[in-house]
Amino acid sequence: MSMKNQLKTAILLALLTALLLWVGQLIGGYSGLVFAGFFAVLMNFGAFWFSDKIVLMMYRAKEVTEKDQPILFKIVRDVTHKANTPMPKVYIIPSENANAFATGRSKNHAAVACTQGILNLLKEDELKGVIAHEVAHIQNKDILISTIAGTIAGVISYVAFMARWAAIFGGSRDDDRGGNIISLLLLAIVTPIVATLIQLAISRSREYLADETGARIIRSPYGLASALEKLESDAKKHPMRFGNTSTAHLFITNPFRSGGFIKLFQTHPDMASRIKRLKNMKI
C-alpha cells in the first residue's frame, strides 16, 4: 500500500508541474514556460526555508521543554527513537480543538505541534499513535512535498487571477499565439480548479501513507485508530478559532470542520476509511 501511495504522489506532482508549465506556455510561449518554472523554483525555495516559522506563528505555538510537558516529551522521544529520526522541537498550540501537525524543512529541522485540546482528550496510547503519524510525515518528507504542491497550485491560481483581468480588459484581441477570450477564460476558471483538485489529492494520499507508516513505527495501528475516532467527534464541538484554512492539510484532521463539500475538495481522506484501513492492517 505504501508503494502505491508513493507512486500516486509522484504522478500527481508530475501532473501539477505539467499544468504549471502549460499555463506558462499559454500565457507567454516558451519564455512564459521558462518564467513559470523559474517562479515556481523561487517560490518553493522561500516556502521551504520559512513556511515552518510562519505556520507556527500563525497558530500561536509556544515551544515547550521536557519540564513543561514530561509525558508528551517521553512519547515523542520514544517514537522518534523507534523511527530512527532526530528529536524534533515540541510546541503547544493554545486551542481546545484536538489536533496536531508536523512542520520543518528536514528531519534535522523539524517540529511537532500539539493543541492543548488533544492533550486533554487522548489517552497516552492514542497520543502516541498521533505522534507516530506526525513523525511519519517528517520521515516521509511530506512537509516538503505539501509545500511544493501548495506553491505550484498557488502560482497557478495567481496566474489565473491575472488572466481573469486580462480577459476583462483585453481578452478579445487575438495575439500571434492565437490567444483569445476562450483560452483566457479556460485558463482563468478551469486551471485553478484542476490545480486545487490535484493538490488536495496529494494531501489525502500522504495522510493515508502517514497513517500506515506511523502504525508500523510503533508496531500498532489501534492507538491511532482510536484517536481518529475521538478527533472526528471533537472537531465538530471545538473548531479552530484562529489560523487559516489554507493550512488545514497540515493537521491530522481538518481543524476547520465544515460539511457539504464533496470528497474531491476535502483536505483529508474520509475518516471512516482511514480508521478501517488502520484496523485492517497486519503488522
Residues marked as catalytic: 134
Q: What are the cell numbers at 279? A: 484496523
Q: How far apart are CA 46 and CA 105, in angstroms?
A: 11
Q: Which residues pair with 100 in a beta bridge?
A: 114
Q: Residue 161 to residues 72, 196, 232: CA-CA distances in angstroms? A: 44, 14, 35
Q: How far is CA 221 from the centre of its chain?
A: 22
Rg of the chain on CA atoms, in Å: 20
Q: Amino acid identity, residue 84?
A: N
* Alpha-carbon gap, residue 264 to 258, rounded angstroms: 14
Nearest one of 106, 105, 95, 98 to 59, comparing CA atoms: 95
User: What is the CB-side half-sphere exposure of residue 40 using CA atoms within 13 A?
Assistant: 25
**What are phi and psi for residue 102, nearest 5 degrees?**
-115, 150
